[in-house]
Amino acid sequence: MAVLDANVKRRLLPVVAHEDYVAPLPPGHRFPMAKFALLLERVRALGLTSPETLLKPGLVSRRVLGLVHEADYVEAVLSQTLDEQAIRRIGVPVTAAMAQRSRRAVAGTILTARAALKAGVACNTAGGSHHAFPGYGAGFCVFNDVAVAARMMQRDGLVRQVLVIDLDVHQGDGTAAAFDGDDSVFTFSMHCGVNFPARKQTSDRDIALAPGTDDDAYLAVLHDALGPLMEQVRPDLVIYVAGVDAHAEDRLGKLALTDDGLEARERLVLNMCAQHRVPVACVIGGGYDDDAEVIARRHAMVFEQAAALLADGEFGWAGA
């Protein structure tokens, strides 16, 4: 991380990406796999990072996955021996390429968290697989990168208290289940109350919004929640799941945020972390549209806001 250390002083945004984030899917599959490569293209085109701060993750090991996931489940994924029911629950074919993609994304969020602890903020061009439970995957999520990254940072003694801010339109049920009864990771999920999953888990704090909630109502609820939450939890690290499926035009969402609303949301969350001097690792979460370019543009908003705040010195306390 020597190059990153030098660039912290120059306030360049650390961005984590890898070509393995894209794995082949059957033609016509509804998961928008192309968005990951398109997001990286957009981030580069906007000049939000540099070659020195564009970071490539390795492959997470079985041992590290075992900080959260059950050994039998990890082995079944990596050997492609999951049964048909388990694969249907995940919603994507668990091929060798998909298993590698899932390992790479977990490693990417771990790397993003490490980079955030140095720079104040960092962004992964994948991640946010919050429907993966310790013993099974669901909702397009194989391994829970958010949960494993939180555990890894704690295991390595880098942080004690983690706050997960999950603003995907779907509840972060797998993350909530992974940390049930564990006060060292506080899970906050603000989502549409009548969307997937049908059977919700209990986060440390859940805010279930009504379908059609618009920009003004959404941002008011979030603003009122975040300040007290930061004071209550006093985290050493925030992992932010910046799902854009809360957009009004998202085909799997039921809320009514506009582009302006999403942009304001990203600015609100990142500003709150900066003001409380808490490093924030951003992962992209969900976003679904027939046009992958549209999704990539929405996902890029958190990168744009992070880069702007970093350049303005809002995370100037980090890396000192």
Full set of structural domains in the chain with CATH: 12-17+32-311 (3.40.800.20)
pLDDT at 10: 52
Q: Name the residue among 64, 80, 176, 89 with its Cα closest to residue 141.
A: 89
Q: How many CB atoms lie within 10 A of CB 249?
A: 14
Q: Is the pLDDT of residue 226 over 70?
A: yes
137-164 pLDDT, tens digit each: 999 999 999 999 999 999 999 999 999 9
This prediction's pTM: 0.96
Q: At a CB cut-off of 8 Å and minimum separation 6, what does 175 contact?
A: 130, 144, 146, 147, 164, 166, 187, 189, 203
Average pLDDT, the chain: 95
264-286 pLDDT, tens digit each: 999 999 999 999 999 999 999 99
Give yes or no for a contact between 87 and 123, defined as CB atoms under 8 angstroms apart.
Answer: no
